[in-house]
Structure 1
Amino acid sequence: MTRFWVCVAGAGFFLAFLVFHSRFCASRLPLPLHFALKISWRPEEALYRLDVDWPKYSEYFTGATFCVAVDSLNGLVYVAQRGDNIPKVLVFTEDGYFLRAWNYTVDTPHGIFAASTPHEQSVWITDVGSGLYGHTIKKYNSFGDLVQVLGTPGKKGTGLNPLQFDNPAELYVEDTGDIYIVDGDGGLNNRLIKLSQDFMILWLHGENGTGPAKFSVPHSVTVDSDGRVWVADRGNKRIQVFDKDTGEWLGAWNNCFSEEGPSAVRFTPDGKHLIVAQLNLSRLLLTAAPPVGSIGDCSVISTIQLADQVSPHLLDVSGKTGAIYVAEIGAKQVQKYVPVKSYSSSFVCIHLEEIGFW
């Protein structure tokens, strides 16, 4: 037993000597008598951490929180929730302070998107309700005043002229005003539609199936900086990718989703990673974005495992801070995850001759 502790003490002394020697002596020794010993200080650490202080008061969540949208330009976070006799839209600051709520003409929200420019703040909501305002996509200003309605209010359908929806899941609005819509969260349609800023159909893919450019419950859509449209094809357990200008099918990812399909897709502000939510697994995946011209296979860089039955439905990412806001229908809340810095590796140079190993 004494010998064991002597060995432990000796090993500790040896490591301390290496560090001391490399710091104070190595620069005076001949280069050939050195080698680099890499010491990694990186434990298994997530790339994001939960911000337990967001929001400041969680009692404002009084229904099932289905979706969240970030207006990074103005530092606002919009949350849409379902329930009877409750405000359907809540507005917070990115710091977590509650600002206001509104409940005008929103029946059953599913997806939400904040599209803001220096000249206009707008909030788009997909409404899957069966009432007077259901089966539509509606545009509001930041105070909840209805500005525009897409679709045929109160009437679901498959028509294109006039435009009809049935359970439109989500949309993405570019700075140009072009709109990408995934229509078909279990309804009549399984399609991806691109509209111009004046609501003309530019292209669409609208067939149910498992082949390229066909869908089974298209649930979320986003656009990257390289001109590619990414669709969470939830029922087919894959992500499909299209050229935003022509609508050409570019490829698909399915190797990451053998257990469950993706329910939400959003890019980090630097465009290097695609964040994917998996509803029933209560999990977020951080995947590597492929280079231009090659979709390749899905590669998971990191995961965020949420609590059981939290059920992350849709999410959004702050363009300023990179924070992820997750709408959790199981937990009936929105949570915020912020990026953390990983530890870097350091190098220690040691001289073997002086310690008798050379």
Structure 2
Amino acid sequence: MYRMKKRMVLGVSVLLALSVTLVWLAQGRTDPIFKDEYDEKAKSSRYTSSWVWPEKDSVSHRGGEGSGVSTSPSGYVYYLHRGDGSYANEELITTPTITVFDPNTNEIVDEFGDNLFQSPHGIEVDSQNNIWVTDIMLNKVFKLDERGNVLATFGDDYRLGTETSLRIRNELPNFPVPMNEYTFARPTDVTVMEDGSFIVADGYRNHRIVKFNRDGNIQWEVDAYGSSDGEFNLPHGITHDQSGNIYVADRNNARIQVFDQDGQHLSTWDDTEIGRPYGIDAGNDGNIYLVDGGDYLNGERETPKSQIVVLSPKGEVIERFGSWGNKMGQLRIPHDLTVLEDGTIFVAELLNERLQKFTITE
């Protein structure tokens, strides 16, 4: 009888310990923030739109999900798409994933990126015309020359058990994962400074931004999961301005966070009209441009919204334009944008699988 009671006590103790451990592992989970409804009608619009690529009913040139877009110092626009692949693709995409355009004529200058990526996500062209691409399945950041040849890759390979641990951590935020600070977990975007250092938004699973010097050595990271200032819930897009300040589209927190070049938090912009920012770019006019992808991928399918938003250097909404749809000027989950020196905006659309151009008419 004594032994039976002892076993029962031991069993209860083990169950209690497991329960406490599971409760602790599950703590800290942050749900996406949903904002109050705003009027989708444009506040103002100085733009006319045109559909750049792929051409309607084109057979020779077909693009996949529009994931990223960037402008180069040489004046070209680099459009990143997923070709014959898709989000979380498990095999290398066999068709070109980067299409280069002349922004004045909309003509294709070059195409490459086949058999290189599984699920390309973010793109940046630096001051030396090098192309940087993040891949959320390969968990790498690629540095390419302007013709698409690989110059370097960043991100340590996963150890045994890392992928399984990350999947568990998706549900239990405090679950330990065997990875170091040089290992990415679905990195979403990258921005490159003038000195060749770069900052990665890392991203779907790590909830951090991390800065490397030009040789790939870590300088600092902001690694915190949550919704307070300096914390992230899916840092999705990232850019920097001429002063070196860093702007992060904190997607599931439905806000923009601003940091200085040393990673110190400066401000948080969470105006209702900002919506849910996916991609972000700093214009030469000092304004910050973003695409609001709306709540469609967060389950809101009845009244989906997608817009382009222009903010002042202080985060004030200057104008919004665009609406949900697949016609000219409409958007369906704009995933990224880039702004040219003359103010022209190019937008990569996820669901419409196209690159759209917005030109100032004033």
TM-score when scaled to structure 1?
A: 0.72
CA shift at 1:116, angstroms? 3.2
Residue 205 (structure 1) aligned with residue 222 (structure 2):
yes
Change (3 A) 1:104 1:56: closer
The code of the aligned residue for 1:109 comes to P
- What is residue 45 of structure 2 aligned with on the other side? 46
- What is residue 141 of structure 2 aligned with on the other side? 137
Write the deviation string for residues 242-290 of structure 1: whole angstroms up to 9, x where unpaired: 111x2111110112357x421111122121x111111132101111112
- What is residue 269 of structure 1 aligned with on the other side? 284
Instruction: Please say if residues 47 and 302 of structure 1, whose CA atoms lie closer than 8 Å, have aligned partners that are also in contact.
Output: no
Residue 249 (structure 1) aligned with residue 265 (structure 2):
yes
Secondary structure of 1:171's counterpart equals strand
Change (3 A) 1:159 1:76: farther
The code of the aligned residue for 2:107 comes to Y
CA shift at 1:184, angstroms? 1.4
Change (3 A) 1:56 1:80: closer
Change (3 A) 1:306 1:153: farther
The code of the aligned residue for 2:292 comes to Q
| In 1: Cα distance, 2:284 partner to 2:80 partner | 23
Change (3 A) 1:261 1:180: same
CA shift at 1:171, angstroms? 0.6
Change (3 A) 1:305 1:324: same
Query: What pairs with 1:153-302 in structure 2 (closer than 5 Å)?
Result: 153=157, 161=180, 163-185=182-204, 187=205, 189-244=206-261, 246-256=262-272, 260-271=275-286, 273-280=287-294, 281-290=305-314, 298-302=315-319
Query: What pairs with 1:104-123 in structure 2 (closer than 5 Å)?
Result: 104-117=115-128, 121-123=129-131
Q: CA RMSD in A?
A: 2.3
- What is residue 102 of structure 2 aligned with on the other side? 93
| In 2: Cα distance, 1:270 partner to 1:160 partner | 41
Secondary structure of 2:285's counterpart equals coil
Query: What pairs with 1:15-30 in structure 2 (closer than 5 Å)?
Result: none
Write the deviation string for residues 59-98 of structure 1: whole angstroms up to 9, x where unpaired: 3333111111111x21211112112443211121112111
CA shift at 1:161, angstroms? 5.0
List gaps (5 residues or longer) in structure 1. Answer: 1-43, 291-297, 342-358
| In 2: Cα distance, 1:90 partner to 1:159 partner | 37
Name the larger-Rg structure. 1
The code of the aligned residue for 1:266 comes to D
| In 1: Cα distance, 2:232 partner to 2:76 partner | 33
TM-score when scaled to structure 2?
A: 0.71
